């Protein structure tokens, strides 16, 4: 409870005064703080030197700001020098703040209410994605149209041109990802059943490490429109819906020369996921 005085239970009562002392703060870790419920936007504006932000086990953190007139209007007002963002075990978190373009690393783990890596100003556009995808389903495949819409909208909303490290583990409702991550070198996505496509990430020309595990609805390999010319390490496990043909096509000549290659379980279902009552066809006797 030692850090509770830094936060208010309502976004209408910011505690900016104390935060003005933290203008030179470079690293900030917030852990097990029940008073952190909404993103403290006014307070974040004081952290102009912050380089690394880590939030761990803040079980009541929802994320969005409900107060009128409190939403961020200018992207670079919040954490303009932030490079590393780490969020662990925040089960109530539904959305992030608007992420600054300075970010180079994002690690998210065990945030099972989170649907989007995009910032909170994207809420209205995400609803557009839903409605436009539904209305265009007669003409386009749902996965393709969703990614095309997100690719056209996201760069204007939440560009992350410097992001080279992205690790997402056990965010089971996650559906939306940032678009055109051309600087990405490391990509690790584990146990994210809500993801169906990663085409919106772009060609990923610099990608060196690709690890996908237990994404049972993921249908497309990220970067499949590129050449994987920089890829060095590849591991895909328990992604039964994944179309591997584009990956094999691009890597046919150099697959055996990779530093790490493990595709033996790529098309398998995770062994501990037994038959469900709604899926009688998979019952075994």
**Residue 94: is its pLDDT beyond 50?**
yes
Q: Higher confidence at residue 7 or residue 268?
A: 268
CATH level 2 (architecture), domain 4-282: Alpha-Beta Horseshoe (3.80)
Give the mean pLDDT of the chain. 79
Tens digit of each residue's pLDDT (9 = 90 or more) over 128-143: 444 444 444 344 455 4
Can you tell me the mean pLDDT for 244-266? Answer: 88
- Of 21-35, 149-163, 189-203, 249-263, least confident by mean pLDDT is 149-163
**Angstrom distances, CA of residue 83 to CA of 88, 100, 160, 183, 197:** 17, 9, 11, 14, 26
pLDDT at 7: 65
pLDDT at 160: 93
Can you tell me the mean pLDDT for 213-241? Answer: 92
pLDDT at 158: 46
Q: Are 228 and 250 in contact (CB under 8 A)?
A: yes
Q: How many C-beta atoms surround the C-beta of residue 114 within 10 A?
A: 26
Residue 271: pLDDT band by 50, 70, 90 thresholds? confident
Q: Higher confidence at residue 258 or residue 124?
A: 258
- Of 14-18, 26-30, 53-57, 246-250, least confident by mean pLDDT is 14-18
Can you tell me the mean pLDDT for 223-229? Answer: 84
The domain ranges of the chain are 4-282
**Residue 34: is its pLDDT beyond 80?**
yes
**Residue 73: is its pLDDT beyond 90?**
no
pLDDT at 118: 76
Q: Higher confidence at residue 118 or residue 31?
A: 31
């Amino acid at each position: 409870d030692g850090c509770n005085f830094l936060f208010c239970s309502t976004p209408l009562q910011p505690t900016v005064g104390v935060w003005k002392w933290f203008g030179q703060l470079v690293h900030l870790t917030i852990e097990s703080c029940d008073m952190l419920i909404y993103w403290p936007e006014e307070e974040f504006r004081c952290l102009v030197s912050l380089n690394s932000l880590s939030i761990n086990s803040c079980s009541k953190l929802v994320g969005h700001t409900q107060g009128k007139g409190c939403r961020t209007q200018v992207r670079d007002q919040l954490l303009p020098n932030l490079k590393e963002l780490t969020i662990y075990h925040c089960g109530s978190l539904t959305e992030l703040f608007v992420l600054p373009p300075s970010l180079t690393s994002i690690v998210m783990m065990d945030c099972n209410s989170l649907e989007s890596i995009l910032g909170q100003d994207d809420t209205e556009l995400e609803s557009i994605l839903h409605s436009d995808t539904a209305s265009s389903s007669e003409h386009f495949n749902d996965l393709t149209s969703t990614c095309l819409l997100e690719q056209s909208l996201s760069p204007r909303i939440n560009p992350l041109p410097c992001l080279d490290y992205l690790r997402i583990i056990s965010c089971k409702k996650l559906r939306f990802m940032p678009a055109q991550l051309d600087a990405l070198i490391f990509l690790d996505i584990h146990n994210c059943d809500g993801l169906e496509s990663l085409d919106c990430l772009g060609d990923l020309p610099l990608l060196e490490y690709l690890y996908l595990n237990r994404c049972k609805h993921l249908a497309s390999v990220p970067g499949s429109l590129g050449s994987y010319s920089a890829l060095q390490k590849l591991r895909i496990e328990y992604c039964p819906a994944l179309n591997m043909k584009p990956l094999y096509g691009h890597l046919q000549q150099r697959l055996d020369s990779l530093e790490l290659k493990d595709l033996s379980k790529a098309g398998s279902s995770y062994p501990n996921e037994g038959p469900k009552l709604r899926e009688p066809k998979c019952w075994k006797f």
